[in-house]
Structure formats: C-alpha cells, structure tokens
C-alpha cells in the first residue's frame, strides 16, 4: 500500500512511500533480537558517548529536520527548531544522569546484603504520534537506550520522513544496527508485532481509542505497556492571580502547535472576580494571531496537520455553539487547506462537546465559576487527567489546590510541559505509567530483588 503525504500548508502531495511487507518487518525484528545482548552489556559510559553524539547530530542537522517536521505536520519552523533542541537536551540529560537512576538500590533487611537491581528487558515497541514527531520519540528513546534496551518505532503514518531521519541520525551517530529501527506498518501489522515474543513491552502516545486497542493487544500477550493518551487540561485562574503573568502562558499553551498538544490548556476555568478582565485580554491576544506559511517568522498560528482534524474541531465548536456556548472569536474554517483560526467559546457548560471532549486544535473553552471550591470541582469534572495549571499569587494556596487536582502533573503559575528531570504521564482516561526521570526509566526494566543471607 502506498501512502501520500500532503503538505498541510500547500495542500500538495510532497511525498509517497510504501508500507513494509512481512519480510521487511521480520528482518527488523530479527536484527533487534540480535542487537540486544550486545547493547545491554555495553557500559553506561559507552552508551552515554553514543547518546551525546546523537545530540550533536540533531543540532547539526536541525535546519533540515525542522523542514521535514513543518512539511509533514505543519508546525511553525521556530517551534520545530525548539523541538529538536529539546530532543538533543534529552539525550544529553540521560547520558549524564542515567547511571544514578540505574544504580543498585540498597534496602536494609536482616540479610548480609539486600538490594534492588535494574536490568533491561529487551526490545520495546514505541507507537508514536505526529504532533511532536521528534520529541515524542526521544522522550521515550533516550532513557530506553541508556537503560540498555533496544527499540522499534511505529510512527504516525503522516510523518514518515521524520521517522526515517531519526533512524538515520542514530545510525550515523554510531548506534549499532538493530538497536533502533523504524517500521512503516499499518494497525493490523502493529498488532502482530506486539504479539511477537521478541517484543517485550509497548509504549504509546496517542488517542484514547488507540490506547485501548494497543493496551488490549499487549494485555492479551501479558506485556507491559505505558500509555500517554489525550488530555483536556484545566487552566484555573483564581481571584488573586497575576493576569500579566497568566495571559501570555494561556495564549502560548492553547494556541502553540496549532492547539494540537495533549498537555495544552484547553479548559479555562475563571473565577468570576477576574473572568471579564482575563477574557478581554485573552480574546484580543487570540484575535491577533496570524495564520500563515509555517516557514515564515511572521506566522504566529500554524495550520492544522490534516484537513480531517480541522473538520473534527469545527464540528465540536459548532455543536457547542448550538448547545448554548457563545463564540467570542474564530469558529469558521479559513480558505486554506487545513487552517483554522484561534477560536474561543464562552459559557461552556455540561452537555457540550467543548466541556466533555478534548479539543485537539486551536479552540479554547471558558468556564466561569464563583470561587476556588467550584473551580476545583469543575477542574476535576472530566474523564481526563493529564496536566493542569493553577494561577494565584499565594504559593501555599496554589500547592494546596494542586494536591486536589486529579492529574499526572499540576503546575502552579507555570506552563504545563514535559521536563526530562521529572516523571510525565496521566491518570484516568489520560493513560497510565510514566515516562522520563527515575520513574520513567524504570518502567521498561526488570526491577529485581537480590537478597544475600
């Protein structure tokens, strides 16, 4: 089967590629199985040297890589360059810090010696999304490789050149054959790869639907999996918030990457005392965003990645307006292949798609509440639990509020983001398991108890 890649900005077919057949997939699986014993017995210093070389290669090739990101999923060029830099930094961080995460952990017992050791498990299959086609891969890959595992990547079908670039960068940086490879395969083939005994675990970043499917297949074969799924993150602004600090973050969180970010602020929960002042400035900032060619510096809002994604967000907006929401700006597709304007809905309430569903595009929901207690209740009134932020001048109040939010990460007076130094993941329908930091690197390891009497 041949896949055509349409440039989101031009609407033209830029690239065509074919899915792999069974023989090609078998070759990759066999190479990964051969590579694991060699890679897992390399010293941490040797693996770190390779990861540092990868980081240098990413930076050296950033202009070319950014071009492919923009061409395949429409990301602003400056956002693409920032993504590459973050990926390079991730490689460097785990090269420098993996040893402390993987060191034996002594446990005091009556034994002469008792401890926990962390051992790699083998080949991990990563099923990754298109919205951060480089970073999402390295967020998983850098810790996994430093842990001694090998990996296969099934990337989203609309970013094949990004997937191939990652493989080429790693190969040229000295990552041995079989330690990492890309599989251009469909969902049926992916299920068969998960079932293969040479695959020891699966990690997925994607939609709730994809997560259910992959987790079910992994569970049927008793394989560990980590799921980072969707989110409808609350952005809670309390009465004492510093609006000068909150508003720039609100705009960048909601409309960066054309709103196509799992941990973007999506539900703006505003206490009545500051709601009108926040909304006036928020709408002005959103209306000023310029949709255009993502390769140009003057463009401040990227096109969406695909036409069907634009159709989906527009349908959610229309249905919410029909149910009683007020349209403050945007709300109509632009006369461009995939572009959608910055859109803000006020008066969002239960029963509307904008209240219950993830808006995966440049559309924001405003929910007005009378006080802090109602803000917390509304923030938790969702099936999702990925990230959240709360804005207040009182740090203790912010920490107290954060503890009451059911989410994998809550940021007080800051942008919700994945940070290589801290675990990342969700709860409820936003998934399970963690990536990054000590918790993430241990997900795909045999955590072994050793007791010496």
pLDDT grade for 317, boundaries at 50, 70 and 90: very high
Query: The tokens of 175 are what?
Result: 């990552």
* Largest pairwise CA distance in the chain: 74
Q: What pTM did the predictor assign?
A: 0.96
CA–CA gap between residue 256 and residue 249 (Å, rounded): 10
Q: Give me the CATH code for the 233-412 domain, please.
A: 3.40.309.10
Residue 219 confidence (pLDDT): 97
Which sign, positive or negative, has the C-alpha torsion 191, 197, 203, 208? positive
CA–CA gap between residue 86 and residue 78 (Å, rounded): 12
Query: The tokens of 298 are what?
Result: 């003057």
In this structure, are strands 445-452 and 363-369 parallel, antiparallel, or unpaired? unpaired
Query: The tokens of 240 are what?
Result: 């004492």
Q: Residues 162-188: what's their mean pLDDT?
A: 97
Query: The tokens of 60 are what?
Result: 């050296």
The pLDDT tens digits of the residues spanning 376-416 come to: 999 999 999 999 999 999 999 999 999 999 999 999 999 99
Q: Residue 203: is its pLDDT beyond 90?
A: yes
Residue 421 confidence (pLDDT): 97
Residue 365 confidence (pLDDT): 98
pLDDT exceeding 90 applies to what percent of the chain?
100
Q: Where in the chain is the domain with CATH 3.40.309.10?
A: 233-412
Q: Residues 163-179: what's their mean pLDDT?
A: 97
Query: The tokens of 449 are what?
Result: 């108890």
pLDDT exceeding 70 applies to what percent of the chain?
100
Which distant-in-sequence residues (6+ apart) come within 8 Å of 322 by Cβ?
A: none
Which residues are catalytic, by number? 228, 262
Which distant-in-sequence residues (6+ apart) come within 8 Å of 3 by Cβ?
A: 16, 17, 18, 19, 157, 160
Q: Where in the chain is the domain with CATH 3.40.605.10?
A: 2-229+428-452
Q: What is the mean pLDDT of the chain?
A: 98
pLDDT grade for 1, boundaries at 50, 70 and 90: confident
Cα 385–Cα 367–Cα 342 angle in degrees, nearest 5 = 90
Nearest one of 436, 405, 353, 385 to 144, comparing CA atoms: 436
CA–CA gap between residue 366 and residue 45 (Å, rounded): 50
Query: The tokens of 259 are what?
Result: 């709103």
DSSP 357-411: S---SSEEEEEEESSHHHHHHHHH-SS--SEEEEE-S-HHHHHHHHHTS-SSEEE
Residue 105 confidence (pLDDT): 97
Edge-first strand listing for the sheet containing 409-412: 326-329, 343-346, 363-369, 265-271, 233-237, 387-391, 409-412
Query: The tokens of 317 are what?
Result: 């907006």
Burial call 236-274: b when 16+ CB within 10 Å, e when fewer: bbbeebeeeebbebbbebbbbbbbbbbbbbbbbbbbeeb
- Judge whether 40 and 149 are in contact, CB under 8 Å: yes
Report in angstroms the alpha-carbon separations of 230 from 21, 222, 364, 432. 31, 24, 16, 11
The pLDDT tens digits of the residues spanning 25-55 come to: 999 999 999 999 999 999 999 999 999 999 9
Q: Which CATH class is domain 2-229+428-452?
A: alpha beta
Nearest one of 214, 266, 201 to 235, comparing CA atoms: 266
Per residue, what are the HEC states of 282-349?
HHHHHHCCCECCCCCCCCCECCCCCHHHHHHHHHHHHHHHHCCCEEEECCCCCCCCCCCCCEEEECCC
Residue 151 confidence (pLDDT): 98
Q: Where are the alpha helices (DSSP H) in 128-271?
A: 135-147, 160-172, 187-195, 208-220, 243-255
Instruction: Tell me the angle at which helices 77-102 and 135-147 cross, rounded to the nearest 10 degrees.
Output: 20
């Amino acid at each position: 089967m041949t896949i055509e890649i349409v440039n989101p900005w031009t609407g033209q077919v830029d690239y065509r590629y074919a899915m792999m057949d069974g023989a090609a997939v078998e070759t990759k699986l066999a190479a990964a199985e051969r590579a694991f014993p060699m890679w897992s017995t390399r010293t941490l210093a040797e693996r770190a040297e390779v990861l540092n070389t990868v980081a240098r290669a990413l930076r050296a090739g950033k202009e070319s890589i950014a071009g492919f990101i923009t061409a395949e999923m429409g990301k602003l060029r400056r956002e693409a360059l920032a993504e590459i830099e973050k990926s390079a930094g991730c490689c460097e961080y785990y090269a420098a810090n993996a040893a402390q995460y993987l060191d034996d952990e002594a446990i005091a017992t009556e034994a002469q010696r008792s401890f926990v050791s962390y051992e790699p498990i083998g080949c991990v299959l990563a099923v990754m999304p298109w919205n951060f086609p480089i970073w999402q891969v390295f967020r998983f890959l850098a810790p996994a490789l430093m842990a001694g595992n090998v990996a296969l990547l099934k990337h989203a079908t609309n970013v094949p050149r990004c997937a191939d670039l990652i493989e080429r960068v790693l190969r040229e940086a000295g990552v041995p054959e079989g330690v990492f490879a890309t599989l251009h395969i469909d969902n049926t083939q992916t299920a068969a790869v998960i079932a293969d005994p040479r695959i020891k675990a699966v990690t997925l970043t994607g939609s709730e639907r994809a997560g259910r499917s992959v987790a079910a297949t992994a569970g049927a074969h008793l394989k560990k999996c980590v799921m980072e799924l969707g989110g409808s993150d609350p952005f809670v602004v309390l009465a004492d918030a510093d609006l000068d600090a909150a508003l720039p973050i609100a705009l960048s969180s909601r409309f960066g990457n054309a709103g196509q970010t799992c941990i973007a602020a999506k539900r703006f929960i505003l206490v009545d005392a500051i709601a009108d002042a926040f909304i006036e400035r928020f709408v002005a900032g959103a209306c000023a965003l310029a949709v255009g060619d993502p390769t140009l510096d003057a463009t401040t809002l990227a096109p969406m990645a695909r036409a069907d994604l634009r159709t989906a967000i527009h349908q959610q907006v229309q249905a919410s307006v029909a149910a009683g929401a007020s349209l403050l700006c945007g709300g109509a597709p632009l006369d461009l292949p995939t572009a959608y304007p910055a859109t803000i809905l006020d008066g969002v309430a239960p029963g509307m798609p904008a209240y219950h569903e993830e808006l995966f595009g440049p559309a924001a929901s405003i929910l007005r509440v009378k006080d802090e207690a109602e803000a917390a209740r509304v923030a938790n009134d969702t099936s999702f639990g990925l990230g959240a932020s709360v804005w207040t001048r009182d740090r203790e109040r912010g920490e107290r509020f954060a503890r009451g939010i059911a989410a994998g990460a809550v940021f007080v007076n800051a942008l919700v983001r994945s940070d290589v130094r801290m675990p990342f993941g969700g709860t409820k329908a936003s998934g399970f398991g963690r990536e990054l930091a000590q918790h993430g690197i241990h997900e795909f390891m045999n955590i072994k108890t050793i007791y010496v009497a």
